[in-house]
Structure 1
């Protein structure tokens, strides 16, 4: 009898402890954010900037882990299979919305298996050439491509990424043929550009700014319809190619079926961080524009890009390698 009472007391104590633990405010331990691309790229820079800011609010560590591969699919699969408790998140780029068309057998559902938290920032992509390149303008590139179709190539961060789509949109609208060469992220692409292995590259703003300041590369154009605040002297692509307009965005996702109040909490804190003067200034210098949306607006953005780019990717016959 005494043993039964003792065991009951132990179970009761454990239940009380479990209830206390579950009632602890979030986050009660370190939060992990996966970056689906290599260190040094735009997604990585944005994530680390925000992680530093939000960790001060939370007084908990935010561990940023780079897990590149398969256009973000590897990292996304890891998050999709995680517990929906907010301790494992992912910072995705706009390629998240187009991966279903590039990987017909994705190991997750792009919509059902994720909880949108916030669309945090965006940036134009930039068409870059080496500092000593003979190409001085987009018109020079188009003229060379028309003179020798298929003789030129451009680097991009991976099949179906915004930088890949930026190059294909130039091909489509200018009626030229520049070969698309995929890399495992924007940083390796720009490294090969600097090294002379490839004549041009489409990169997002945060990847481009440092190299532009160092003078290792030159910007021929930004991909948004108007000029970018951080590169006011660089033409927009639409100034040479009418109708051209595209960008890259970044947003935070969690596993599917996260409790709405937890999503709201994380969204609120990241939106607050991305809209502080310090972070806005930091991102602005990197070539990114702070946004900070609600979860619903981020979900709508993913769906809008899915609808916009799906037919274009199918028509171009683009597939992941």
Structure 2
């Protein structure tokens, strides 16, 4: 028995030493960062901003590879099943925390099949309405919705999208019934609000700022629990009529499960260093992004909370997974 234990310990010690040696030389070749959406979107912009600086920080190229389709699931699945060596990572988004709500047959589990590396940014949403809607703040909107249950309509970029779940949280907390009208993309929903066809939408700042400046939509509040650096004068939903409200998008880096912890730590340290640089933070804020890194452990807890909240909001809205 003692000999068997000694053999096991020796093997474990050898494996640990091998992982340490591997991490010491990491990275020795280019790293692929997969993005599940087409070039030009928020996930892609964030990935490219990060990849450029990570390449400098790590001394190896970090190459962004777009694999759009199925709401990001093609890229997510590819990373889940990639070799666990740290050379393939994913720029994940809030959409990944909700995919299980629509698809019961996913080939991966967000909380079991990945090694969290770090959160990179949060994405504040602006709550905007059509200019003619007779409200000046969130409190007015809540009163109007309560007085006319089921008559107001909100846009989203689809079932279980960030915009959809943001408004379902609003409905639940405010105890109102604002009806959901899904569009193919959030830009279409914003356009519908500007045209007066839809009453409101939660959308990223870049997608609404030009219309807001032109007076074609009305900015009411920001969805984060704190005022955004993008527009610090805009109040939060919580402070302007719905205390406790908090919802936002996010992008973060995941690696396949099984990547040696030392390599994950190396990636985490590099991301934290890069995002912490003043010029990087300024570039992100200009894109409507809020720089926010974490430890790998904190990002794991964050993901678990996101999955749980998405499930809770799905139950509240009657959303069920497809078969």
Q: TM-score, normalised by structure 1?
A: 0.79
Once the two structures are overlaid, the 10-residue window that deviates more, 284-293 or 249-258, is 284-293
- 1:1-321 alignment to 2 at 5 Å? 25-29=26-30, 31-130=31-130, 136-194=136-194, 198-209=198-209, 212=212, 217-238=217-238, 239-319=240-320
Contact 2:23/2:260 (<8 A) preserved: no
Q: Which residue of 1 aligns with 2:10?
A: none
Per-residue deviation, 1:214: 6.4
Question: What do residues 57-92 of structure 1 show as CA deviations (whole Å, max 9, x unaligned)?
Answer: 345443334444444323211211222233322111
Per-residue deviation, 1:318: 1.6
Contact 2:142/2:241 (<8 A) preserved: no
Contact 1:94/1:248 (<8 A) preserved: yes
Once the two structures are overlaid, the 10-residue window that deviates more, 201-210 or 82-91, is 201-210
Per-residue deviation, 1:216: 5.2
Q: TM-score, normalised by structure 2?
A: 0.79
Q: Which residue of 1 aligns with 2:16?
A: none
Structure 2: which 5+ runs fail to align?
1-21
Per-residue deviation, 1:157: 3.4
Contact 2:150/2:178 (<8 A) preserved: yes
Q: Which residue of 2 aligns with 1:12?
A: none
Secondary structure at the counterpart of residue 154 of structure 1: strand
Question: What do residues 78-128 of structure 1 show as CA deviations (whole Å, max 9, x unaligned)?
Answer: 211222233322111233233333432222122221111111121322112
Contact 1:71/1:158 (<8 A) preserved: no
Contact 2:124/2:290 (<8 A) preserved: no
Distance in 1 (CA, whole Å) between partners of 2:202 and 2:120 is 21
- The structure-2 alpha-carbon separation of the partners of 1:77 and 1:282, relative to structure 1 and needing over 3 Å to count, comes to same
Secondary structure at the counterpart of residue 155 of structure 1: strand
Contact 1:68/1:184 (<8 A) preserved: no
Secondary structure at the counterpart of residue 237 of structure 1: coil
Contact 1:71/1:161 (<8 A) preserved: no
- The structure-2 alpha-carbon separation of the partners of 1:182 and 1:90, relative to structure 1 and needing over 3 Å to count, comes to farther
- The structure-2 alpha-carbon separation of the partners of 1:194 and 1:255, relative to structure 1 and needing over 3 Å to count, comes to farther
Contact 2:123/2:289 (<8 A) preserved: yes
Secondary structure at the counterpart of residue 159 of structure 1: coil
Distance in 2 (CA, whole Å) between partners of 1:299 and 1:273 is 20
The alignment of Structure 1 onto Structure 2 pairs a total of residues equal to: 300
Distance in 2 (CA, whole Å) between partners of 1:274 and 1:212 is 29
Distance in 1 (CA, whole Å) between partners of 2:23 and 2:147 is 67
- The structure-2 alpha-carbon separation of the partners of 1:177 and 1:40, relative to structure 1 and needing over 3 Å to count, comes to farther
Q: Which residue of 2 aligns with 1:18?
A: none
Per-residue deviation, 1:22: 11
Contact 2:98/2:310 (<8 A) preserved: yes
Structure 1: which 5+ runs fail to align?
1-20
Per-residue deviation, 1:259: 1.9
Contact 1:122/1:248 (<8 A) preserved: yes
